[in-house]
Every structure is written in structure tokens, then in C-alpha cells.
Amino acid sequence: MTRTRTAATFAPPVMEARRWLEGVVFPEDRPLINVSQAAPVDPPPLALRQAMAEFAVTEDSAHLYGPVLGNPELRAELASQISQHYAAEVASDQVAITSGCNQAFAAVISAITDEGDEVILPTPWYFNHKMWLDMAGVHAIDLKTDDSLLPNPDAARVLITDKTRAITLVTPNNPGGVEYPSDLVRAFYDLARETGIRLLVDETYRDFDSRSGPPHDLFSQPGWQDTLVHLYSFSKAYRLTGHRVGAIATGTDLLAEIEKFLDTVAICPGQIGQFAALWGMKNLSQWVAGERAEIFDRRAAIQEQLPRLADKGWRLLGLGAYFAYFEHPFDIPSDELARRLVPEAGILLLPGTMFLPDSDTAGKRQVRIAFANLDRSGIAQLFDRLQALSF
């Protein structure tokens, strides 16, 4: 049988994990704790939903095609906010809007690679990045991280060949949660610039970075647009996951190539989602600050609960944004552990095997917990169940 593009990669991990729930009955006194997916489960705030509804009812443009690279007002506002956030100057024509950040990554990869090219991904990697590279015929070159889940630029340099087209960083990291230090991100930028490749920096969780001030200085570098490709998502900050609104910031020449991909795949981003993102940026800064503070409090709750698991042999490898990434203490692989946790503990999480290549056995000792939808009480219940485990 002919091997197809989609057959070149694995099944969607979150969907695979959901199938583990089939046929499992959770008792009332032990409901499922779902920490498998890093997405808000609550809808946007009421004021935003009302504004979206009014837009849908009163504006004919809400239901029509728009510019392929996104609506000018949204591009301009995002450029302004990027400029402010990073203390730099970014123009609106250096910004494009996409149907989610996954599409942003796919569009960039399609614009900068050919079949057989290579892209370096630190491991544990974001699985959808790996899936798209597989389906595009691009080789994902895994760059192992250290005990703090941080990649090493010198190790990356060794992996660069004449087929390498980019290095991809995710910060704050998915799945590890770690925030990459500014000087580390800059070192990767300098490496990419020196070797003539692109640096893709996915900052989907930028709004939940615990640091104050710019998380890096890449936008301040002369000619940044020739090396840096910045990816962003509105989904987490404004709870717009179902409306699929993401963004790219890079040079206009590359955006012209990306436009070809976007026009062919989706023609344009959805109008209601774009309206919501723009309205949110203009009206919800204080609300987002509250959401950010709540995530930080949940992160603090995990730190407070941590000794309970540490005493049982668990080791926290990374914590930040929506994620806690652990090494478990059991003598069974994490993929088996994750399946057993559903009926035996009422927990749905993702095993480290979903974030590393099969050749890297470290994944069999690791699990990802996406804690953003658990309040302090829910986090305590999760730790109660994990502490009680015995395999």
C-alpha cells in the first residue's frame, strides 16, 4: 500500500487519550480529573460574548471573506502590542493573522522548507509541531534538553546541516512549562542568524509568563525579520480556542510566501474570531491580568503540594504557564501508566512518550499535567490521588 502523508505520523495525542475514557464509569465521589489538554474549558467573559453576538447580528462583514493575512485593524493592534510588550518597533505589515497557532506553524514550515529538509525541535517537543513536520516530509531533528528542560545552543550547532532550515523554540514551554531565559533565546537567535536559518519562537503562552518586562530582546535586533518568526495565539488569553485565531510576526517577504499557503488552506481567518481578538486586546487587559494571576496562584499551589509527591519518588522537571511536567517513580512505562490512571485513579493525563521520539526512553518515565483548569481544591484532589498510587 502506498504510504500517505498522514500515515507518516501518529494519531492526535489528545484525541487518543480521550478514547481511553470510553466505557469507564466514574463514581460520584471520584469524578474524572482531566489534565490532558492545555485549553480553557470556560467560555470568554460575558462582555466579550455579547460584543461578538452583536457583531454577528449587525455586521454583514462578520459572515464574509476578508484579507488572507487578516484584518488590518487586528494586524495593526497586534503590531502595536508586540512593540509595547517587547520594547521594540514592529509594523503592521510584519504581522499576519492565522486560523490558530497550529496553522501559523504549518504555514511557516510550508514557506521555508522543501521535502527532505530538517527542522530542529528541542525535546520534549510539542507534538503537533512534530506531526506537521512528518506530514510535510520534513525531518524533525530532536535536540535533547538538560535536567531543567532547557536546550543547549552548542548542542544545536552540532545538529545543523545543509538541510537545516529552522530551529523551533516554545516558551513558556509546552509540554515542560519552563520559561526560557532571555540570554538563552538570544543565543539561539545568534546561532540561527550566523548559520542562515530561521528561528521560530512559539509564544502561545506569552500572557502567562511570570516575568515582568520583555521575555527576550529579539525584536530589538537589527534585521530581526530576516531570522525571527514569532508565533502567537489568542486562544488562551481570551478563551477563544473554538474560534481559532493565531498570529505570525516576521518579514514581509516571508509573509508573502505564507499568504499562498493560507489562501489555499482557509482563504482567511474567521471574522468573528478576529473581531473577538481585537475587542479583547482593546477592552480586557485587566481581565487578562486577573487570569494571569489565577494561573500563577495555581502554579504556587502545585509548588506547595509538591513535597507530598516528592516523598513518593516523583520529580518535578518543569513548571509554568499551563503545565507541570513530572518524572514518575513507577516501574511501568508512562504510556501504560496513563491508561491505567483513568479507571484506577480517575485521572486523564498525557504520557511523556507523546512528547519524545521512540528512541528516547526518558519519555517512559515522564508525564504532563495541564493544570490550568484546576482550582486549588482540584489540585489538592489531584495530588491526593497521585500520592495514593501504588504500581
Residue range 355-378, pLDDT digits in tens: 999 999 999 999 999 999 999 999
The rounded mean pLDDT for the chain is: 96
Residue 357 lies in a domain: yes
127 CB-side CA count, 13 A: 22
Handedness of CA 35, 39, 40, 41 (dihedral sign): negative
Distance (Å, rounded) from C-alpha 310 to C-alpha 288?
A: 33
- Domain end call among 238, 267, 284: 284
pLDDT value at residue 385: 96
Give mean pLDDT, residues 71-87: 97
Does 177 share its domain with 276?
yes
Does 15 share its domain with 60?
no
Per the structure, the complete domain to which residue 310 belongs is given by 6-43+287-387
Domains: count for the chain: 2
Weakest mean pLDDT among 35-44, 89-98, 228-237: 35-44
Does 225 share its domain with 161?
yes
Beta bridge partners of 118: 139, 164
Residue 311 lies in a domain: yes
Distance (Å, rounded) from C-alpha 311 to C-alpha 350?
A: 22
pLDDT value at residue 39: 81
Does 100 share its domain with 36?
no
Tens digits of residue pLDDT in 131-154? 999 999 999 999 999 999 999 999
275 CB-side CA count, 13 A: 21
Question: DSSP for 75-91?
Answer: HHHHHHHHHHHHTS---
pLDDT value at residue 185: 98
Does 76 share its domain with 196?
yes
Which of 10, 13, 6, 2 is CA-nearest to residue 135?
6
CATH code for position 182: 3.40.640.10
What pTM was computed for the model? 0.95
Which of 273, 272, 265, 369 is CA-nearest to residue 314?
369
Q: Which three cell numbers stand for residue 251?
A: 518579514
pLDDT value at residue 136: 96
Does 52 share its domain with 114?
yes
Which of 122, 124, 95 is CA-nearest to residue 231?
95
CATH code for position 330: 3.90.1150.10
Does 160 share its domain with 177?
yes
pLDDT value at residue 21: 94
Contacts of 28 (CB under 8 A, 6+ apart): none
Does 200 share its domain with 314?
no
Q: Does 1 have pLDDT greater than 70?
A: no
Give mean pLDDT, residues 195-220: 96
Taking the CA atoms of residue 248, residue 251, residue 254 and residue 256 in that order, the dihedral angle to the nearest 10 degrees is 90
Give the DSSP H/E element, type plus range, for residue 335. Answer: helix 334-345
Kindly give the interhelix angle for 376-387 and 285-310, rounded to the nearest 10 degrees.
Answer: 20
Helix (H/G/I), strand (E/B), else coil: 230: strand
Q: Does 91 have pLDDT greater than 90?
A: yes
Residue 1 lies in a domain: no
Give mean pLDDT, residues 193-220: 96
pLDDT value at residue 338: 97
Does 19 share its domain with 148?
no
The more confidently predicted of residues 332 and 39 is 332
pLDDT value at residue 391: 81
Question: DSSP for 157-196?
Answer: HHH--TTEEEEEEESS-TTT-PPPPHHHHHHHHHHHHHHT
Does 331 share its domain with 299?
yes
Residue 195 lies in a domain: yes
Does 57 share its domain with 112?
yes
Q: Does 274 have pLDDT greater than 90?
A: yes
Tens digits of residue pLDDT in 50-64? 999 999 999 999 999
pLDDT value at residue 41: 84
Beta bridge partners of 29: none
pLDDT bin (cut points 50, 70, 90) of residue 40 is confident
Residue 13 lies in a domain: yes
pLDDT value at residue 355: 96
pLDDT value at residue 38: 82
Residue 178 lies in a domain: yes
- Domain end call among 250, 284, 318: 284
Helix (H/G/I), strand (E/B), else coil: 123: strand
CA angle 338/340/343 to nearest 5° reads 120
Does 291 share its domain with 334?
yes
Burial group, residue 156, by CB count within 10 angstroms (0-12, 13-18, 19+): buried
Q: Which three cell numbers stand for residue 190?
A: 545568534
Residue 77 lies in a domain: yes
Tens digits of residue pLDDT in 282-324? 999 999 999 999 999 999 999 999 999 999 999 999 999 999 9
Residue 114 lies in a domain: yes
Which of 284, 297, 315 is CA-nearest to residue 371?
297
- Domain end call among 239, 267, 284: 284
